[in-house]
A and B are shown apart, each in its own frame.
Chain A
Amino acid sequence: METTSDFLNIKDVNTAFKINGKYYDAISHINLKVHHDEILAIVGESGCGKSTLATTIMGLHDPSETKISGEIEFEGTDLLKLDEAGYNKFRGAKIGMIFQDPLSALNPLKRIEDQISEVMTYHTNFTAEQKHKRVLELLDEVGIVNPERTARQFPHQLSGGMRQRVIIAIAIACKPDLIIADEPTTALDVTIQAQILDVLRKIQQENHAGIILITHDLGVVAETADRVAVMYAGQIVEEGTADQIFNKPKHPYTRSLLRSMPQRDNENDDLYVIQGNVPSLQKMPTTGDRFAPRIPWIDASAHEANPSMHEVEPGHEVRCTCYKSFTFPDQTGSVKV
């Protein structure tokens, strides 16, 4: 891990959305690094800002509705300082994105071939023939059995899994260094999920790309990720290697998440449920530990006033000091909820 360079360096990024004329932070003070040859998983429940982070890196926000600050350094360029034309040189070429819903992410009126070769039109000097060859190659690479036929088809003629493969083919068409996969398997059934993840891993190994895998599915994370960043309410609350996160979780939120996963060898049939909800953007607290309201049995003094990241081991960081005294209520047995 030490030898690989970090080619994506996200520094102190804030993204705020305009709601009724006022800006509210959707993600705040995000610091992340992505290396070549690794899969970094970003996990968290719905509304924690994972997708916002992805679209911020891609520059897909409407500037009139959002305010973004910080720095996203990608191979030496600060993406946030680029204009549209400059950004377009990166999007599709050096950064590919895979979207959550394969059913709506393809243009219903265009043939698969046209949708894939469109990326190459703007980023390569390929002739029509070269593009056609590459399209078939890509479709084969993502595991489509009959590339010739699929290339001629329209999205509605393909199954969800095949469409997701097509979207992956689009994302990797120009061999990007970074692939952002925003919940790539959420809309698919489990057998297809595994195949799609295999495809992703294979491509990553071939191209030495870095992948940001955004998901709320801890099973997917355990299966694929090298490193994991856990997000809660727009902040990263814990970051470490997959091994560290799954075997030595520190932050109460990470531990709650892991505990709320159904387990086969659990004698207790009841699933652990994290109380409460993620606060909405307008109600997001600006100071204090954002997770504190959801673990009310923990004494207020355990939290920091302005929680910051603490390194617990090399490469393993956790927000706030409350992890030190955190226990689940039923495990201590004495705390009433």
Chain B
Amino acid sequence: MWKTVLRRVLIMIPEVIILSLLVFLLAKAMPGDPFTGSINPKADPAQLHHLMEMNGLYDPWYQQYWNWVVHLFQGNLGNSYQYQEPVTRLIGSRAINTVWLALLTTFLTYCFALPMGMFAAKHEGKLPDTIIRFYTYITYSIPFFVVLVIGIWIFGYVLGWFPTTGSVSATAASGLPTYGSHLYHIILPSVLGALFGTVNVVQYLRSEVIDAKRSDYVRTARSKGVPEKEIYKHHIFRNSLLPIAAFAGYSITGLLNGSIFTETVFSYPGMGLLFINSINYRDYTVITALVLIYGILNLLGTLLSDIILSIVDPRIRIE
């Protein structure tokens, strides 16, 4: 088990190096320089030249890359031009919001989707199955931002049950009320995200359960005289969860970088909203840092998936 994990982590190292190289070179390939916009346009070109030289921007790319990596390890991702504060601090304060939103959304998605997929498969071809499949197709085919806008309109504006912007109420007292306010703000976006994000899990689980129902090992279990309920519990359900488990890692990190819609519509101060704003303001240091973080998150997601899979599936463990 630990060998599998260790091996996977070692494989990740070259992946991260290649990723950082790509991100760095793409950022370098972007037109313009970091100073032209921030100094007096009438300034002497020699002065700009001097600034560039001071900051090592004329060094060969590998030298610059090396400096960038050294700074990365020192936790220095540079300063945001727009906010005039260190990128690490800027992202750090946003990341926590996004993580909570993603975790709650993922949790709720599985809460809705697992029973639905199971139920549909158990009643394959019958009315409940048809209804659930219809539901997943409908939710899949509606663009998510439309759902968000309608959701805000109904639950935030017409009914007034939930706040429509921000991550915390400005008037909430510190301590427990703050956490309560945070939770209150993410309920609507995560419930909407979960209700409309079930399609993958439901469809995967449904087809896996239907396959498992007809598999030879389930027939063996039936020939042992195991009651149908126990067969579902011990043989069908666990085996059908494999692809879902494999998917879990991706889906969590997918939500972390996929929260751009939700955060934009809800004006929720997370990484997605920061990303969109940085692009709008050409805040290159923030963009580079976020792209790198998203890339590493994806790698971590696959790692997480592999670890989960190696826990639940003995076939891929390395003994």
Contacts and interface: CB of A to CB of B under 8 A. Distances in A.
A68 to B, nearest CB: 16
Interface in A148-184: 154, 156, 167, 170-171
B217 A104 contact: yes
B272 to A, nearest CB: 37
A101 B216 contact: yes
Contact of B223 (A97, A109, A123): A97
Contacts of B315: 108, 154, 156
B219 interface: yes
Contacts of A105: 216-217, 219-220
A327 interface: no
Given A99-B220, A170-B220, A109 B238 contact: yes
Contacts of B226: 88, 92, 118, 122
A58 B239 CA distance: 24
A93 interface: yes
Contacts of A84: 227-228
B215 interface: yes
B217 A58 contact: no
B222 A104 contact: no
Given A58-B223, A101-B216, A156-B315, A107 B235 contact: yes
Given A104-B216, A107-B239, A108-B239, A90 B225 contact: yes
Interface in A79-135: 84-85, 87-93, 96-97, 99, 101, 104-110, 118-119, 122-123
Contact of A106 (B220, B228, B312, B314): B220
B249 to A, nearest CB: 19
Nearest to A96: B223
Contacts of A88: 225-227
A60 interface: yes
Contacts of A104: 215-217
Contacts, number: 78
B221 interface: yes
B223 A107 contact: no
Contacts of B217: 104-108
B309 to A, nearest CB: 12
A245 to B, nearest CB: 28
Contact of B225 (A91, A101, A106, A154): A91
A243 B221 CA distance: 36
Contact of A92 (B225, B238, B314): B225
Interface string A226-268: 0000000000000000000000000000000000000000000
Contacts of A110: 234-235
Nearest to A103: B216
B313 interface: yes
B132 to A, nearest CB: 19
Nearest to B228: A84
B224 interface: yes
Nearest to B226: A122
A99 B314 contact: no
A170 B216 contact: no
Contacts of B220: 97, 99, 105-107, 167, 170
A122 B230 CA distance: 10
Given A101-B216, A105-B219, A167-B220, A156 B225 contact: no
Interface of A: 58, 60, 84-85, 87-93, 96-97, 99, 101, 104-110, 118-119, 122-123, 154, 156, 167, 170-171
Closest 7 CB pairs of A and B: A92-B225, A91-B225, A92-B224, A104-B216, A88-B225, A97-B223, A107-B217
